[in-house]
Structure 1
Amino acid sequence: MKKNVGGIDRILRIVAGIALIAWALMGGPVWAWIGIVPLATGAMGWCPLYPLLGFSTCPLSKK
């Protein structure tokens, strides 16, 4: 898998994922567990939707 998530996008995904998971753990709605997705894509640096859209925020993959 070629990295396609970089920089600020990656940081925002990780922060949003942690925030949603924390909310779910504190008694938030069940759908808050969706935070696992942005956390995982931010940690891996790869989003499966980006290649389908022909999009990338990683400067190294734009070459």
Structure 2
Amino acid sequence: MKKNVGSIDRGLRAVVGIGLVAWGIATQNWWGAIGIIPLFTAAIGWCPAYLPFGLSSCRTKT
């Protein structure tokens, strides 16, 4: 599995994921569990949604 999520993208995903989970806990709403997805993709550095489009936010080595 080749990484396709860069460092800035990973940071943003982590912040959004934590925010969604915190919102879900604060409002006692199960929709906050969606925050697990960006947290997971930030942790492993790979996003399956990028595959069909051939996207990558990683820096390319020149």
Shorter-chain TM range is 0.7 to 0.9
The TM-score, its normalising length taken from structure 2, stands at 0.87
- CA drift of 1:14 comes to 0.4
Distance 1:28 1:8 in 2: 30
Letter in 1 for 2:47: C
Whichever structure has more helix as a proportion of its residues is 1
Distance 2:15 2:47 in 1: 16
2:26 is the alignment partner of 1:20: no
- CA drift of 1:13 comes to 0.1
Q: Equivalent residue of 2:55, what SS? A: coil
Question: What count of residue pairs does the alignment treat as equivalent?
Answer: 62
Question: Over residues 29-50 of structure 1, what are the superposed CA-to-partner deviations in whole Å (9 max), with x where a residue is unaligned?
Answer: 3222110000100111000011
The TM-score, its normalising length taken from structure 1, stands at 0.85
Letter in 1 for 2:54: G
- CA drift of 1:15 comes to 0.5
Q: Give 5+ residue unaligned stretches, structure 2.
A: none
